[in-house]
Amino acid sequence: MKASTREWIAKAEEDFAVATSLARRRKKPLWGPLAFHAQQCVEKYLKVRLNEAGVSFGKTHNLEQLLVLALPSEPLWAAFQPAFAQVTQFAVEPRYPGFNVTKPEARQALGHCRRFRLEARQGFGLS
C-alpha cells in the first residue's frame, strides 16, 4: 500500500471518529456536523481507492462522480450509488446558514458511511 494511501485512510478515520462521537452526543445534538463528517469519511475512502489505483480525481466532493472513477477498480461498489446520491448533499451545505440537517437524515448518512467504510476497509484487508 502506498504511503499516501495510508494518509488518506488516517484522514477518513478521523472523520469517522468525529461522526460517531457526534452521534453519541445527547445534549445539544449537532446533526449538520455529524452528516458532514459522515460524508467526508465516505469521500476520503473513495479517494483512498482512487489514490491506490493511481486515478486522478481532482477537487470534488461529489460522491457519485468519485464512484464513477472508482468503479473500474471496485465494480461492486455500484450498489452504493443511491446512498452516495443522498450523502453528497452534506459535503458543503450543512456548514452554512439556511440548510438544516434533521436527526433522521444525519443517522441515515452515518449508516451509509458505516456500511461503505466497512466495505472499503475489507477491500484493503483492514479490520
Q: Write out pLDDT tens, residues 34-86.
A: 999 999 999 999 999 999 999 999 999 999 999 999 999 999 999 999 999 99
How many separate domains does the chain show?
Answer: 1
Distance, in Å, from the CA atom of 84 to the CA atom of 124, rounded to the nearest integer, reads: 20
Amino acid present at 30: L
**DSSP state letter for 96:** S
Distance, in Å, from the CA atom of 81 to the CA atom of 75, rounded to the nearest integer, reads: 11
Q: 113-127: per-residue pLDDT in tens?
A: 999 999 999 999 998
Element (H, E) at 91: none
Domain extent for 34: 3-123
Distance, in Å, from the CA atom of 96 to the CA atom of 113, rounded to the nearest integer, reads: 22
- CATH code of 111's domain: 1.20.120.330
